[in-house]
């Protein structure tokens, strides 16, 4: 995987991130979701590297990146903390301005980076995600049934870690290695069997139900919005639209238009349709810069 890329471990503040980077050109950061690691981008990153410096870390606590001790309100796993990791990582690599792409939970981090560091983010790409407050304010029986893992992983009285760590092979399911890449498949399964990673993934969801929602609410109350060009990539075979038109929901959070594109794949777009994903990202990165 990642021929020509550099594998590194970079300490940023309170965590050490495992990161791969390679290519030449304007920088773009690719952020994975749950329960993946950065290797989910193994087919997309080389396609972008012809025109861009591609940086793809494990989010804090995921893969082989570290996580600080648990904090009040699960703040150590907030998307604000993860977005700060990304900003510090790019400063370490010598880049003040960069584009950010996030999938699933990584989309929440990408969105938070665009909100908290508007002067640094040139373009935002969100893949199968909404601001967490928009999900939580629309919860109904259908959403709760379909997205039940949010509530399971978010529990603290009966922690999910006890169930998952008892038999991770029974809990997680992934496509076979020949479909998603042998290295990617192996990297994920090392993470799934690590109790520290399982705890970090649960803490990610606990933060999502509390402190991340609070941060979104504060931004909405202050009418803060994404100021850079935004692309929403929605999987044709997933259910991001379970609570309504995703582009219409995003519109209230973005100063400019929301560029909306459907990818013919299931949820894990980067693994199932890497060429289409890379082409859509590349087109978006050629668009004009921030709106203010």
Residues annotated catalytic, as ranges:
104, 267
Please classify residue 94 by burial: count the beta carbons closer than 10 Å to its beta carbon, then call 0-12 exposed, 13-18 middle and 19+ buried: exposed
Phi, psi of 209, rounded to the nearest 5 degrees: -80, -10
Phi, psi of 124, rounded to the nearest 5 degrees: -120, 130
**DSSP 8-state assignment for residue 17:** E
Q: CA 138 to CA 249: how far, in whole Å?
A: 11
Please classify residue 39 by burial: count the beta carbons closer than 10 Å to its beta carbon, then call 0-12 exposed, 13-18 middle and 19+ buried: buried
Facing residues of 233 across strands? 127, 261
Neighbours of 213 (CB within 10 A): 18
Can you tell me whether residue 285 is helix, strand or coil? helix
CA 113 from chain centre, in angstroms, equals: 11
Q: CA 27 to CA 175: how far, in whole Å?
A: 30
Please classify residue 147 by burial: count the beta carbons closer than 10 Å to its beta carbon, then call 0-12 exposed, 13-18 middle and 19+ buried: middle
**DSSP H or E stretch at residue 214:** helix 211-221
Please classify residue 4 by burial: count the beta carbons closer than 10 Å to its beta carbon, then call 0-12 exposed, 13-18 middle and 19+ buried: exposed
């Amino acid at each position: 995987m990642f021929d020509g890329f550099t594998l590194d471990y970079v300490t940023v503040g309170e965590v050490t991130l495992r990161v791969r980077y390679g290519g030449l050109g304007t920088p773009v950061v690719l952020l994975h979701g749950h329960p993946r690691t950065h290797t989910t981008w193994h087919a997309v990153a080389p396609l972008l590297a012809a025109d861009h410096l591609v940086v793809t870390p494990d989010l804090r606590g995921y893969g082989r990146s570290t996580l600080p001790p648990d904090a009040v309100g699960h703040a150590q796993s907030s998307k604000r903390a993860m977005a700060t990791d990304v900003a510090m990582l790019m400063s370490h690599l010598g880049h003040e301005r960069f584009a950010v792409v996030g999938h699933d939970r990584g989309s929440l981090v990408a969105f938070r980076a665009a909100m908290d560091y508007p002067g640094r983010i040139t373009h935002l790409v969100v893949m199968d995600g909404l601001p967490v407050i928009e999900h939580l304010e629309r919860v109904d029986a259908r959403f709760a049934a379909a997205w039940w893992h949010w509530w399971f992983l978010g529990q603290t009285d009966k922690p999910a870690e006890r169930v998952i760590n008892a038999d991770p092979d029974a809990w997680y399911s992934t496509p076979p290695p020949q479909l998603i890449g042998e290295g990617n498949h192996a990297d994920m399964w090392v993470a799934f069997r690590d109790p520290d990673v399982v705890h970090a993934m649960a803490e990610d969801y606990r933060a999502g139900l509390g402190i991340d929602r609070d941060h979104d609410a504060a931004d909405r109350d202050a009418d803060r919005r994404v100021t850079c060009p935004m692309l929403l990539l929605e999987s044709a075979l997933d259910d991001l639209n379970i609570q309504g038109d995703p582009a219409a929901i995003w519109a209230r959070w973005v100063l400019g238009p929301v560029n909306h594109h459907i990818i013919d794949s299931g949820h894990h777009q980067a693994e199932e349709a890497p060429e289409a994903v890379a082409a859509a990202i590349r087109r978006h990165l050629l668009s004009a810069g921030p709106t203010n």
